[in-house]
């Protein structure tokens, strides 16, 4: 193998120990190899590129001692690739074809503009958790606690990294209202007071229910504040190099991000 030393490739040498067996070289070397591999596997949807990709993966496995599991590996195509070509190339690779990039730590990996269906699973999870509860049999205090513990807290992790579509925030608040007023999916109950008053703190006569949209923006502002006050941190420096002044333009309101993702 070779490494770049002061911008020039070194002489070829054979490592005496692998990284996984305690190589004295920094583990960051392994990260660099994975980064290079990640760039190599993004290629044109053609038979030639598929054969090249298979060679790259085979070479990586041969040198690293790892093995790619065909059963656990998926392949994702651009929407501009014809369906028959997608199927043919998927069969050639031996991977399962998917229509999205899936999830990482419970958050969808975005590859296009954010739509309501991108985060539809948050609504589905809320419905699944509420399916075993009968809000009408609980007291008002119990229904408020149920709404906060089951629905309000559900999207907080996702809200820290993405601005959810209005339809998702509205859908979550709809379920909170339904729980508090003791209604159900089939039977709607009248609101006893204005919903604006329910949002007020308990000290002011409200129930302390949090607005989903406001909570989403507040959690994103925490990241923005950390970025502005700790610009020497590694992640802040990476952001500045990757996005440049667009971050500050967005904060000043000069430009609206198309995807709403941090």
pLDDT in tens, 187-246: 666 677 787 888 888 888 888 888 889 899 999 888 888 888 888 888 888 888 877 766
Residues 6+ apart with CB under 8 A from 206: 197, 198, 199, 200
CA distance 63 to 192: 68
Contact (CB, 8 A) for 169 and 124: no
Helix ranges restricted to H, the chain: 28-40, 47-64, 83-93, 120-130, 140-146, 156-159, 166-180, 195-198, 212-229, 234-243, 246-251
- Mean pLDDT over residues 94-106, rounded? 80
Q: What DSSP line would sit under 86-149, residue for residue? A: HHHHHHHHT-EEESS--EETTEEPPSS---GGGGHHHHHHHHHHHTT--GGGS-HHHHHHHIII
Tokens describing residue 248: 């500050």
Supply the pLDDT for residue 258: 44
CB atoms closer than 10 angstroms to residue 9: 9
Q: What's the whole-number average pLDDT of the chain?
A: 77
Residue range 163-173, pLDDT digits in tens: 888 999 889 88
Sign of the C-alpha dihedral, residues 181, 121, 108, 30?
positive
Has this prediction a pTM greater than 0.75? no
Confidence of residue 98 (pLDDT cuts 50, 70, 90): confident
Please report, rounded to a whole number, the percentage of residues in the chain having pLDDT higher than 90: 0
Residues 6+ apart with CB under 8 A from 158: 106, 107, 119, 122, 164
Contact (CB, 8 A) for 177 and 118: no
Residue range 15-68, pLDDT digits in tens: 665 555 555 555 566 666 777 667 666 666 778 888 888 888 888 788 777 788
Supply the pLDDT for residue 259: 44
Domain regions of the chain by residue span = 1-40, 44-99, 116-216
Whether 116 has a pLDDT exceeding 60, the answer reads yes
Distances in Å between the Cα of 102 and the Cα atoms of 89, 106, 114, 118, 154 are 20, 9, 14, 10, 19
DSSP annotation of 205 reads: T
Whether 110 has a pLDDT exceeding 80, the answer reads no
């Amino acid at each position: 193998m070779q490494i770049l030393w002061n911008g020039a490739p070194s002489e070829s040498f054979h490592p005496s120990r692998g990284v996984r067996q305690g190589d004295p070289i920094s583990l960051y070397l392994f990260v660099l190899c994975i980064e290079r591999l990640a760039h190599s596997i993004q290629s044109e949807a053609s038979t030639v590129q598929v054969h090249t990709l298979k060679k790259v993966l085979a070479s990586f496995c041969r040198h690293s001692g790892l093995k790619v599991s065909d059963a656990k590996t998926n392949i994702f195509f651009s929407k501009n690739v014809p369906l028959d070509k997608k199927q043919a190339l998927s069969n050639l690779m031996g991977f399962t074809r998917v229509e999205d990039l899936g999830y990482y730590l419970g958050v969808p990996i975005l590859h296009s503009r954010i739509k309501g269906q991108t985060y539809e699973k948050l609504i589905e999870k809320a419905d699944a958790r509420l399916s075993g509860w009968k809000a009408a049999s609980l007291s008002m205090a119990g229904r408020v606690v149920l709404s906060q513990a089951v629905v309000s807290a559900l999207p907080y992790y996702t809200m820290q990294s993405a601005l959810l579509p209005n339809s998702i925030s509205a859908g979550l608040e709809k379920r909170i209202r339904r729980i508090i007023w003791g209604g159900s999916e089939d039977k709607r109950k009248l609101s006893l007071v204005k919903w604006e008053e329910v949002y007020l703190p308990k000290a002011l006569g409200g129930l302390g229910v949090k607005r989903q949209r406001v909570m989403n923006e507040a959690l994103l502002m925490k990241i923005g504040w950390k970025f502005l006050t700790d610009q020497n941190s590694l992640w802040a420096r990476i952001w500045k190099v990757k996005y440049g002044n667009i971050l500050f333009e967005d904060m000043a309101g000069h430009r609206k991000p198309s995807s709403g993702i941090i």
